[in-house]
């Protein structure tokens, strides 16, 4: 196995570095943080904070936004009428993909819809 720089340099630095003395035995970091004194406190260990309560739901508005019961305006909007006319033209039963394609100018010849319609209807 060939070791190249910078890994080679790092290995050489480890070999030439003087040995460090072992770390002094002391409490683990988790134990030290639990025993940390509170600034301005009595110097005793820190107590855990109580759990945070759940955030309450925002209060509901007393009146509907539009000022009408149920939040709906008294007169339908003009664009809502156009949607109703469109809904009347939609088929009641499940849509026939092939009929939809014929109605709107055929599907592209290489589309999945065209392949489905040619297999079903022989179009």
Domain limits, the chain: 95-123
Residue 48: name the closest of 67, 35, 65, 61 by CA.
35
Average the pLDDT over 30-46 and give the result. 57
Question: CB of 116 within 8 A of CB of 97?
Answer: yes
Distance in angstroms (rounded) separating the CA atoms of residues 51 and 67: 41
As a whole number, the mean pLDDT across the chain is 68
Instruction: Give Cα separations from 52 to 28, 48, 57, 80 (angstroms).
Output: 27, 12, 15, 47
Q: Are 71 and 64 in contact (CB under 8 A)?
A: yes
Averaged pLDDT, 83-106: 69
Kindly report, residue by residue over 48-71, the tens digit of the pLDDT.
Answer: 888 888 888 877 766 555 555 565
Segment 5-36, tens digit of pLDDT: 677 788 788 777 666 665 555 555 555 555 55
Q: Which pLDDT does position 108 carry in this prediction?
A: 84
In which residue are the tokens 């469109």 written? 86
pLDDT for the residue numbered 99: 79
């Amino acid at each position: 196995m060939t070791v190249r720089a910078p890994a080679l340099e790092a290995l050489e630095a480890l070999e030439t570095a003087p040995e460090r003395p072992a770390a002094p035995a002391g409490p683990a970091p988790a134990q030290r943080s639990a025993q940390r004194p509170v600034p301005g406190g009595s110097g005793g260990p820190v107590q855990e904070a109580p759990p945070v309560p759940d955030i309450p739901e925002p209060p509901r508005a007393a009146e509907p936004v539009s000022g009408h019961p149920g939040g709906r305006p008294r007169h339908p909007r003009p664009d809502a009428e156009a949607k109703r006319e469109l809904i009347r033209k939609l088929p009641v039963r499940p849509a026939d993909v092939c009929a939809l394609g014929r109605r709107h100018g055929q599907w592209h010849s290489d589309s999945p819809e065209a392949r489905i319609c040619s297999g079903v209807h022989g179009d």
